């Protein structure tokens, strides 16, 4: 073959074979969640609370690291088979901190859905930011996709942070396992411990991941939710992070599967220092521990594309578990709870009613007619009134 022939052949092949690179940059999900760092402002400083406003899990999927064996992942179960394959490829790539890796999808939307599910399922991936996807095309058809993740830390920094996180989490879970056998009690204990150890702080470093909670003790709603999820999963309890709005503000909370049923948990709104920062209160609001969908949707709205279960179970609800859900108002029964709570050094006593009439009777007698002072001592007694949930909290 002559040099001229080869040159002409090369030009012909170049004209026929057009490989176009289309690069699409995905803003880090961390940037999207950063909007969640704004504190929910829908609650009044008085602490009255917000104004009124199943899908079958498939075979458990295991993940490397310190997670409990046989743990299942809710968001993963909602994906198509193609999306699950990309999810697995993404997970493997970022666990190894690969600078670039291929995924089997030809549609960037598939990668988006897999990535969103990955973040919802895996709080331990605190080093993962956004990513860039490069589409390799033959003419107008995508042939393959390459993913280039953004990592927030070096591998050495990640490993050091993980060591500290593990130590902090183990201190909590050692107590949890030794003190309780039932998962419902362990969930409550973790809820209380996290609220007790965290301070809501929009200026906290790493506040979109678990580093903020376990390393600094300061975070925002995403850090609260991710940290609760991390501890739940280490206990072998299925837990997913849900994003959306609460009281009109961007927010994050959790969906858990407990004793075979689904519930919602919001540790941020359970922290009274979040709802009443000016009051410097230390009491825990148990209203947001194991909620039904009906209760959650009074103030929260998910923006997740995946379907969410209708949580109707109440067996593990705090008020049911603690015997604090009442069908009728009895001054003697409620009064005894208030008196015993104060005598035992509790900072507050909370109770809920199943009907509006009983709730209004309790509020009228205890609050409007000052009947609460029949059962407790002191003048510095306040209350939290969450009317849409028929809940009263007496704070000493």
Report the C-alpha gap between 217 and 78 in whole angstroms. 33
pLDDT of residue 256: 98
pLDDT of residue 62: 33
pLDDT of residue 51: 37
Report the C-alpha gap between 15 and 312 in whole angstroms. 62
Q: Does the pLDDT at position 297 exceed 60?
A: yes
Output the CA torsion sign for 356, 360, 361, 363.
positive
Longest C-alpha distance within the chain, in Å?
A: 108
Q: Does the pLDDT at position 178 exceed 80?
A: yes
Q: Does the pLDDT at position 3 exceed 90?
A: no
Percent of the chain past pLDDT 70, that is, above it, reads 81
Q: Does the pLDDT at position 306 exceed 70?
A: yes
Average model confidence (pLDDT) across the chain: 84
- Residue range 159-184: mean pLDDT, rounded: 95
DSSP element (H, E) containing 330: none
pLDDT range class, residue 140, cuts 50, 70, 90: confident
Report the C-alpha gap between 203 and 201 in whole angstroms. 5
- Residue range 217-233: mean pLDDT, rounded: 97
The structure's pTM equals: 0.81
pLDDT digits (tens, 9 = 90+) for 330-381: 999 999 999 999 999 988 899 999 999 999 999 999 999 999 999 988 878 8
Q: Work out the angle between the directed axes of helices 221-234 and 155-179 (0-180°, nearest 10).
A: 60
Q: Does the pLDDT at position 64 exceed 50?
A: no
Q: How far apart are the first and last CA of the chain?
A: 96
- Residue range 293-310: mean pLDDT, rounded: 96
> Checking phi first, is residue 215 left (phi over 0); if not, alpha (psi -120 to 50) or beta?
alpha
Percent of the chain past pLDDT 90, that is, above it, reads 71
Q: By C-alpha distance, which of 276, 246, 209, 241 is closest to 48?
A: 276
- Token pair for residue 76? 């993963």
pLDDT of residue 279: 53
pLDDT digits (tens, 9 = 90+) for 250-284: 999 999 999 999 999 999 999 977 765 555 555 78
pLDDT digits (tens, 9 = 90+) for 192-202: 999 999 999 99
pLDDT of residue 370: 93
Q: Which residue has the higher pLDDT, 337 or 53?
A: 337
Report the C-alpha gap between 139 and 20 in whole angstroms. 7
CB 266 within 8 A of CB 298: no
Measure the CA angle with vertex 193, ends 240 and 168; round to 5°.
80
pLDDT digits (tens, 9 = 90+) for 234-249: 999 999 999 999 988 9
Q: Which residue has the higher pLDDT, 164 or 283?
A: 164
pLDDT range class, residue 138, cuts 50, 70, 90: confident
Q: Which residue has the higher pLDDT, 140 or 374?
A: 374
DSSP element (H, E) containing 67: none
Q: In sequence order, what are the residues at sequence separation of 6 or more whose Cβ sits closer than 8 angstroms to the Cβ of residue 36?
A: 208, 220, 221, 222, 243, 250, 251, 252
List, in sequence order, every residue forming a beta bridge with 50; answer none if it has no partner: 43
| C-alpha torsion 167→171→173→177, nearest 10 | 130
pLDDT of residue 184: 96
Q: Where are the domains of the chain?
A: 3-155, 323-396
- Residue range 218-246: mean pLDDT, rounded: 97
Q: Which residue has the higher pLDDT, 4 or 90?
A: 90
pLDDT of residue 40: 20
Query: How many Cα atoms are found within 13 Å in the side-chain-facing hemisphere of 293?
Result: 11
pLDDT of residue 347: 85
Query: How many Cα atoms are found within 13 Å in the side-chain-facing hemisphere of 18?
Result: 7
Q: In sequence order, what are the residues at sequence separation of 6 or more whose Cβ sits closer than 8 angstroms to the Cβ of residue 219?
A: 198, 199, 200, 201, 204, 207, 212, 213, 227
pLDDT of residue 14: 42
């Amino acid at each position: 073959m002559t040099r001229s022939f080869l040159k002409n052949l090369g030009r012909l092949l170049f004209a026929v074979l057009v490989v176009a690179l289309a690069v699409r940059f995905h803003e880090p999900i961390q940037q999207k969640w950063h909007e969640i760092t704004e504190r929910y402002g829908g609650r009044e400083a008085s602490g009255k609370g917000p104004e009124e406003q199943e899908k079958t899990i498939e075979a458990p999927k295991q993940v490397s690291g310190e997670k409990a064996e046989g743990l299942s992942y809710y968001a993963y179960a909602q994906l198509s088979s193609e999306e699950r394959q990309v999810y697995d490829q993404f997970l493997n790539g970022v666990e190894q901190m690969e600078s670039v890796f291929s995924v089997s999808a030809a549609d960037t939307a598939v990668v988006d859905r897999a990535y969103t599910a990955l973040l919802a399922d895996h709080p331990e991936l605190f080093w993962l930011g956004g990513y860039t996807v490069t589409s390799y095309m033959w003419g107008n058809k995508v042939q393959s996709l390459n993913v280039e993740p953004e990592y927030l830390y070096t591998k050495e920094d990640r490993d050091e942070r993980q060591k500290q996180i593990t130590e902090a989490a183990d201190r909590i879970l050692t107590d949890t396992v030794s003190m309780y056998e039932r998962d419902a009690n362990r969930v409550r204990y973790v809820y209380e411990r996290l609220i007790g150890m965290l301070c809501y702080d929009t200026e906290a470093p790493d506040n979109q991941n678990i580093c903020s909670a376990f390393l600094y003790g300061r975070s925002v709603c995403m850090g609260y939710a991710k940290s609760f999820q991390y501890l739940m999963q280490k206990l072998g309890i299925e837990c997913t992070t849900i994003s959306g709005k609460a009281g009109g503000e961007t927010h994050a909370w959790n969906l858990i599967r407990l004793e075979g049923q689904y519930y919602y948990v919001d540790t941020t709104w359970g922290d009274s220092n979040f709802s009443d920062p000016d009051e410097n209160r230390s009491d825990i609001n148990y209203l947001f521990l194991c909620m039904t969908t009906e209760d959650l949707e009074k103030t929260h709205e998910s923006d997740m594309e995946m379907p969410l279960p209708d949580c109707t179970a109440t067996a593990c609800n705090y008020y049911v578990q603690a015997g604090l859900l009442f069908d009728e108002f009895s001054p003697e029964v409620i009064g005894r709870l208030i008196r015993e709570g104060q005598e035992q050094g509790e900072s507050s006593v909370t109770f809920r009613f199943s009907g509006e009439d009983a709730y209004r009777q309790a509020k009228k007698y205890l609050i409007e007619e000052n009947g609460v002072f029949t059962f407790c001592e002191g003048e510095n007694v306040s209350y939290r009134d969450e009317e849409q949930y028929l809940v009263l909290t007496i704070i000493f």
